[in-house]
């Protein structure tokens, strides 16, 4: 029921009044096999848990400190960059929002692909930007290279590339990304590399931010190190650009627990490497099962794949939930409507999924 006071409330900006918010994970997911939002399915390193438990009580009352975290990121990446080239954010979602806030203006254009991560468009709409989303090429969801090149010639303010792309898994060679940045100096080229560890193709080892200061790379500890619940993300680029992006966030956006967890996770890279290797093994195994059973699917990059069930996807999604397994329907996504996105966990977890799916 709408209260009369709601009707009299001052309206928000027109861009916000017409905005359809990004659909975040639903409640009630704990205790189930979470194959719906591409999370780490086993949790972080024991060293992370121990580090958080060791935080003394009096530290709860102190604003967080970030000294050493940028240096730890650089040590983990083994890149010859300066700490000023690392931006710290309350999850990569916050980094994306800050990029649009700092660089996107009313009437500017966001250039991206379709379908891709659903948060890019709302961020553009908040700023009053136009959105040019170029479809991937069927049947294999190949990257629309020539179309993006042509569109860059029109001078878009931002180019957002998820690599590998969520949800199609499409991979783009780092050389192509560097080419985009070099040929469109007035466009901020943002590469979302949240799933890079499961596939490779990172632009960071070959990036030269002095030559292409319009390039920004996003990284996270959510998908690999299991810190999605603590919200910690990084933007990597030219110091001047990272400075501008960081100006539009609060001084203490990242909490102390996330800082402590990130330092411990970055110091235990073998744990992350072992988890990534397990996911890659489980992914290959599941693809083999799907092929053997003649199930239509698409597996590109990342820790997820697409499956087209014979029954309506919403029905299959609901029946899997009854079996304690969460997957995500792609019913609202262009080109892949009718599919389910299934995140990849361990071999044991994918065995649990495959035990339920054919029966359904």
Compute the distance between CA of residue 163 and CA of residue 38 in angstroms, rounded to an integer: 14
Measured at the CA of 248, the angle between CA 190 and CA 121, to 5 degrees, comes to 45
Compute the distance between CA of residue 42 and CA of residue 34 in angstroms, rounded to an integer: 10
Compute the distance between CA of residue 280 and CA of residue 1 in angstroms, rounded to an integer: 49
Omega before 167 within 30 of 0, i.e. cis: yes
Question: What is the maximum span of the chain, computed from C-alpha positions, in angstroms?
Answer: 60
pLDDT tens readout for residues 60-108: 999 999 999 999 999 999 999 999 999 999 999 999 999 999 999 999 9
Compute the distance between CA of residue 10 and CA of residue 316 in angstroms, rounded to an integer: 43
Bridging pattern class, strands 215-220 and 188-192: parallel
pLDDT mean over 265-281:
98
String of DSSP letters for 302-330: SSEEEE--SS-HHHHHHHHHHTTEE-EE-
Four-point Cα dihedral 73, 124, 98, 37, nearest 10: -50
Compute the distance between CA of residue 59 and CA of residue 47 in angstroms, rounded to an integer: 19
pLDDT tens readout for residues 136-183: 999 999 999 999 999 999 999 999 999 999 999 999 999 999 999 999
Residue 27's pLDDT is 74
Within 13 Å, how many C-alpha atoms sit on residue 2's CB side?
A: 5
pLDDT mean over 297-304:
97
Residue 30's pLDDT is 83
String of DSSP letters for 215-281: EEEEEESSTTTS-TTT--EEEEE-HHHHHHHHTTS-TT-S-HHHHHHHHHHHT-HHHHHHHHHHHHH
Residue 20's pLDDT is 78
Compute the distance between CA of residue 325 and CA of residue 356 in angstroms, rounded to an integer: 9
Compute the distance between CA of residue 313 and CA of residue 329 in angstroms, rounded to an integer: 6
Compute the distance between CA of residue 279 and CA of residue 273 in angstroms, rounded to an integer: 10
Q: Does position 186 have pLDDT exceeding 70, yes or no?
A: yes
Omega before 152 within 30 of 0, i.e. cis: no
pLDDT mean over 181-202:
96
Band (301; pLDDT cuts 50, 70, 90) = very high
Residue 15's pLDDT is 83
Nearest in space to 215 (alpha carbons), one of 163, 143, 275, 272: 163
Mean pLDDT across the chain, nearest whole number? 95
Q: Quick check: 249 and 94 in contact, CB under 8 A?
A: yes
pLDDT mean over 46-50:
98
Residue 6's pLDDT is 57
The pair of structure tokens assigned to 128 is: 């009053």
**Dihedral sign for Cα atoms in the order 109, 112, 114, 115:** negative
Residue 158's pLDDT is 98
Q: Does position 5 have pLDDT exceeding 70, yes or no?
A: no
Residue 205's pLDDT is 96
Q: Does position 3 have pLDDT exceeding 60, yes or no?
A: no
Provide, rounded to the nearest whole percent, the portion of the chain with pLDDT above 70. Answer: 97
Band (22; pLDDT cuts 50, 70, 90) = confident
pLDDT tens readout for residues 6-19: 567 888 888 888 88
pLDDT tens readout for residues 73-83: 999 999 999 99
Looking at residue 45, the DSSP 8-state letter turns out to be -
Residue 332's pLDDT is 83
Tell if the pTM clears 0.75, that is, is over it: yes
Strand partners, 297: 307
């Amino acid at each position: 029921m709408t209260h009369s006071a709601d009707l009299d409330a001052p309206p928000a900006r027109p861009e916000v009044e017409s905005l359809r918010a990004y659909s975040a994970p639903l409640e009630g997911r704990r205790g189930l096999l979470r194959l719906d939002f591409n999370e780490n399915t086993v949790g972080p390193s024991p060293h992370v848990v121990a580090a958080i438990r060791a935080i003394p009580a009096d530290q709860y009352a102190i604003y967080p400190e970030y000294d050493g975290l940028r240096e730890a990121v650089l040590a983990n990446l083994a890149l010859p960059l300066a700490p000023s080239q690392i931006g710290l954010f309350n999850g990569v979602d916050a980094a994306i929002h800050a990029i649009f806030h700092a660089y996107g203006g009313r009437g500017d254009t966001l250039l991206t692909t379709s379908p891709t991560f659903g948060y890019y468009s709302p961020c553009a709409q908040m700023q009053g930007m136009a959105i040019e989303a170029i479809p991937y090429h069927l049947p294999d969801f190949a990257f629309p290279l020539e179309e993006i090149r042509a569109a860059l010639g029109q001078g878009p303010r931002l180019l957002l590339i998820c690599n590998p792309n969520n949800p199609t898994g499409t991979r783009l060679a780092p050389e192509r990304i560097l080419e985009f940045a070099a040929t469109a100096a007035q466009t901020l080229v943002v590469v979302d590399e949240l799933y890079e560890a499961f596939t490779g193709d990172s632009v960071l080892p070959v990036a030269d931010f002095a030559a292409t200061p319009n390039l920004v790379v996003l990284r996270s500890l959510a998908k690999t190190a299991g810190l999605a619940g603590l919200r910690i993300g990084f933007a990597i680029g030219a110091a001047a650009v990272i400075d501008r992006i960081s100006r539009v966030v609060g001084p203490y956006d990242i909490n102390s627990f996330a800082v402590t967890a990130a330092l411990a996770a970055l110091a235990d890279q073998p744990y992350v490497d072992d988890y990534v290797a397990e996911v890659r093994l489980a992914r290959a195994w599941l693809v083999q099962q799907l092929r053997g059973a003649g199930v239509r699917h698409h597996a590109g990059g990342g820790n997820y794949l697409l499956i087209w069930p014979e029954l309506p996807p919403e029905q299959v999604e609901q029946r899997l939930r009854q079996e304690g397994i969460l997957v995500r329907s792609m019913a609202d996504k262009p080109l892949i409507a009718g599919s389910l996105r299934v995140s990849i966990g361990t071999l044991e977890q994918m065995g649990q999924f495959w035990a339920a799916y054919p029966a359904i």
